[in-house]
């Protein structure tokens, strides 16, 4: 999670790690994957508009 989030430049990585530790994989992983997808779509839209 940390490496992938850092590579994409995602903010607030501590939220995904904390939710993974406090609640579990059932919350942490889907939340991270959702925000990762949004970040990838955002960067795709930005590269298309160049």
Q: Specify the pLDDT at position 50.
A: 67
To the question of pTM greater than 0.85 for the whole model, the response is no
Provide the 3-class DSSP secondary structure of residue 4. helix
Q: pLDDT above 70 covers what percent of the chain? A: 98
50: part of which helix (H) or strand (E)? none
Write phi, then psi, for 11 (nearest 5 degrees). -95, 160
Q: Specify the pLDDT at position 1.
A: 85
Q: Specify the pLDDT at position 21.
A: 93
**DSSP character string of 8-37:** HT-S-HHHHHHHHHHT-HHHHHHHHHHHHH
Q: How many residues does the chain have?
A: 50
Domain ranges across the chain? 2-48
């Amino acid at each position: 999670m940390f490496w992938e989030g850092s590579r994409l430049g995602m903010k607030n990585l501590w939220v995904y790690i904390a939710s993974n530790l406090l609640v579990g994989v059932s919350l942490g992983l889907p939340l991270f994957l959702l925000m990762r997808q949004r970040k990838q779509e955002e960067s795709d839209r930005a590269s298309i508009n160049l």
